[in-house]
Structure 1
Amino acid sequence: MPKINVNSTKQDVLAAVAQNGLALQYASETLKDDREVVLAAVAENGWALEYASETLKNDREVVLAAVAQNRWALQYASETLKNDREVVLAAVAKNGWALEYASETLKNDRDFLLAAVAENGWALEYASETLKNDRDFLLAAVAENGLALEYASETLKNDRDFLLAAVAKNGWALQYASETLKNDRDVVLAAVAQTGLALEYASETLKNDRDFLLAAVAENGLALVYASETLKNDREVVLAAVAQNRWALEYASETLKDDRDFLLAAVAKNGLALQYASETLKDDREVVLAAVAENGLALQYASETLKDDELLQKVQKLQEEVNPAAFLALNPLKNKLKQETNSERKKAAEIMIYAMEDAIVEYYKGKDTNKFNQDVAQAISTALPVLEQQTGWKKVIDAVVNAVMNFICPKIAEQSQGKSTYRSFFFANPNPAAKEIEDVEQNISKNL
């Protein structure tokens, strides 16, 4: 942080806050009341509003500039501006939780809250209890973010139509449904269709219902993870799951993973399912051949002996050329996943990584860069409501997306001469700390 003190000149303080807005705390009281100095400070770091004079904490332009840079700056605004619709909406638009610092008057203003939740569903947490039981108001919230259901009244959590709208937007919302609706086939299927792992919150009755599970895995193969142990050993259920999503085989019973006939059927549907076969079957030439014939990338999961098999290598070459480095570039995400302790973030990250791997495979099938960008954006946006709670994920995802793009479009990457041509646009702050990015990229290089 630039070194300044109460005796520093205005020019020195302006230079300091331009580099780090928080340097304002060391300026003189006179300069903390200087509009030009404070505007420069909050433009660089919204938190600097904490150190502004009381007069400037009541200045709309200063506070708007602060919350535009950092939504949490609203907590340092004057009580008058915490009751200002434009100022509070500017903060809430960036993060619904900023509504915590709004005036009680605004928290009870239905029209204002509708505008707030339209900007960000998380704002519902700080709405009045009356509004949390207002059906139209709540529908506006869950339309923006299904997880806003957490803050709804118990009455609405037991409203079937309301729940269907919520889980269609975000399958994770099922966890906040009433026990009755967690046993409702239509509600749970709608949730599973949005995200397979939502089956975790279904009733035990549905998790043990074979017909229901067949319908669930047809919507999303990953739903198999929360099926009963009996159904994880059901050939038809598991094959249906693998047909929808190759990664579903991971959740099959160990018996099926070592069943030769079953694995032959599974890899015929999706060669990459070989990844979850038993070690014995990864060394079975016929099984591996069937897998590689369906997808050349499956050879990476074969035994060390079969990886050198001449016929298998020839079959693999018949597949479209791919760059394995694009898959290795995802390793920092997988390493981050291993370190994650929060169960909800782990599930969201797993789904995101699976979707990114699918996006890479699909790209090499059709070489459609626009579709690849859309698929990756969809993978991230689905997990973002959960992962954005922990900033470490944002930085790793940002670096990995750009590393993958270097392999997908190497010619354009070369033209950038090492610059971040593909700096990820998925987050509010698209430029994570340079040191952290350097560490991640070094990690990627070691894996290549």
Structure 2
Amino acid sequence: MDALAKLDEEETEVESWDVRIERDWEAIEYAPVEGYRGSKEFMLRVCKASGLALEFAEEELFEDPDVVLVAVQNSFGDAFKWASKDLHRNRSFMLDCVAVSAEVLKKVSNKCRNDDDAKTKSYKGVFYCYRRGGKDGLPFKTGPCHPTDGAQCESCSRVLDDPDNCPLPQDREFITAALKRNWQALKHADKELQGEKDIVLAAVQAGGLALQYASDAMKADREVALAAVSQNWRVFKTLSKQLRSDAEIAIAACKQDWHVIKQVTKELRTHQELMDIAVRQGWEAFPLMVPEMRRKRSLAMEAVRQSWRAYEHTSADLRADQELALCAVR
């Protein structure tokens, strides 16, 4: 009888925790380790409710890519901060995380080990172990392995010979794959990669706003700028005056939204093709045109066909045009 009572009590306790956590996932903080915070199956369920629950899991689950990925997917990437450092080198796992939020790359360790098994850290894309000498006990001839007080030692100079040893923001192959999942990965890519044209082109073709994370040289590149505005017209206003005076770039942007004509240079305000495209995108572009273009009958007719209000902005000589007036009345 005592055994049955004890069994009932245990079942009631288990059910109580299940119900409590189902009602409020934060209750996992106080749940027992066994069967709850230490259970992969249970933590997967809780992390689907909120990835932030990962904080209260047993540390061994911080190394489980399945649990951590579910947590990342259900926390807008915030749960990545509890992922073990070993997972930072798991490229397939990291690609899945980047697809959720490129900000996870900001938290990735830039440390690794050289072939002397010394811990190294990347500084501006170059690795240093900060040692004064090697395993033989002798000091380095070039001074400490330090970015400002010495020079890179031979072991650190070979760090990137092993691609798997390379921190992800500096890994060209990884960043290329990451951009296919999330163009914002360019934001946390190494400075050198932000200046590589093929990398930047891949980013802006996926998301034009990625241009803001490119190097200055890439921002001034015509091909890159054209690809960026073709994907997102809002990039146009961030371009240099020289690029904003490029008719092809302006037209590519205007094909998406007429508001572009607000940012074009003075030279392009009389560009017939550009104004034709703008007014087809929206009659509201017509009042913003210079007087010379508002005297163009074809532009006025297109605007008036869309809205009679455009008639108010036509030139005096066009208001005498009977066909245009009839179009406005209709």
Taking structure 2 as the reference length, the TM-score comes to: 0.60
Q: Distance in 1 between matches of 2:65 and 2:95?
A: 13
CA distance in 2, matches of 1:107, 1:142: 18
Per-residue CA deviation, residues 248-295 of structure 1 (Å, 9 max, x unaligned), is xxxxxxxxxxxxxx4xxx2xxxxxxxxxxxxxxxxxxxxxxxxxxxxx
Structure 1 residues not aligned, in runs of 5+: 242-261, 267-448
Q: Secondary structure at the match of 1:123?
A: helix
Does the 8 Å contact 2:303/2:310 carry over to 1?
A: no
Correspondent of 1:69 among 84, 100, 110: 100
Pair 1:211-2:285 in alignment = no
CA distance in 2, matches of 1:56, 1:41: 14
* 1:115 matched to 2:144: no
- Give the root-mean-square deviation of aligned CA atoms: 3.4
Aligned pairs for 1:326-337 within 5 A: none
Structure 2 CA distance, aligned partners of 1:153 and 1:229? 32
Is the 1:142–1:148 Cα contact (8 Å) retained in structure 2? yes
Task: Give 1 or 2: higher helix fraction.
Answer: 1
- Are positions 1:35 and 2:45 aligned together? no
Select 1:143's aligned residue among 217, 230, 242.
230
Relative to 1, partners in 2 of residues 1:93 and 1:227: Cα closer, same or farther, differing over 3 Å?
A: farther
1:13 partnered with 2:43: yes
Q: Structure 1 residues 160, 14: CA separation in 2 closer, same or farther (over 3 Å shift)?
A: closer
Q: Which residue does 2:192 correspond to in 1?
A: 105
* Helix, strand or coil at the partner of 2:28: coil
- Name which one, 1 or 2, has greater alpha-carbon Rg: 2
Identity of aligned residues (%): 29
> Could you give the per-residue CA deviations for residues 312-369 of structure 1, whole angstroms, max 9, x where no partner exists?
xxxxxxxxxxxxxxxxxxxxxxxxxxxxxxxxxxxxxxxxxxxxxxxxxxxxxxxxxx
Task: Give the drift of 1:10.
Answer: 2.8
Paired residues for 1:217-228 under 5 Å = 217=303, 221-222=306-307, 224=309, 228=313
- Is the contact made by 2:81 and 2:107 (CA closer than 8 Å) also made in structure 1? yes
**Residue of structure 2 aligned with 1:156, choices 243, 258, 269:** 243
Greater alpha carbon shift after TM alignment, 160-169 vs 203-212? 203-212
The structure whose RCO (Cα within 8 Å, separation 6+) is larger is 2
Give the Cα separation in 2 of the matches to 1:60 and 1:154: 41
Question: What per-residue deviation string (whole Å, max 9, x for no partner) do you get for residues 52-83 of structure 1?
Answer: 23332342222211122344544434452223
Q: Which residue of 2 aligns with 1:247?
A: none
1:49 is matched by which residue type in structure 2? F
Q: Is the 8 A contact 2:72 2:80 kept in 1?
A: yes
Distance verdict in 2 for CA 1:53–1:127, change over 3 Å: same
1:198 and 1:72 mapped to 2: Cα distance? 38
Work out the number of aligned pairs and report it: 240
Picking from 24, 28, 32, the partner of 1:4 is 28
> What is the deviation of 1:196?
3.7
Does the aligned pair in 1 maintain the 2:300–2:311 contact within 8 Å? no
Q: CA deviation at 1:30?
A: 3.5
What CA deviation, in whole Å up to 9, does each residue of 1:400-444 have, x standing for no partner? xxxxxxxxxxxxxxxxxxxxxxxxxxxxxxxxxxxxxxxxxxxxx
* Residue pair 2:179, 2:202 contacting (<8 A) in 1 also: no
Specify the alignment match of 2:159 in structure 1: none
* One-letter amino acid of the structure 2 residue matched with residue 121 of structure 1: G
Give the distance between the partners of 2:276 and 2:222, measured in 1 at CA: 23
Whether 1:60 aligns to 2:91 is yes
CA distance in 1, matches of 2:257, 2:97: 31
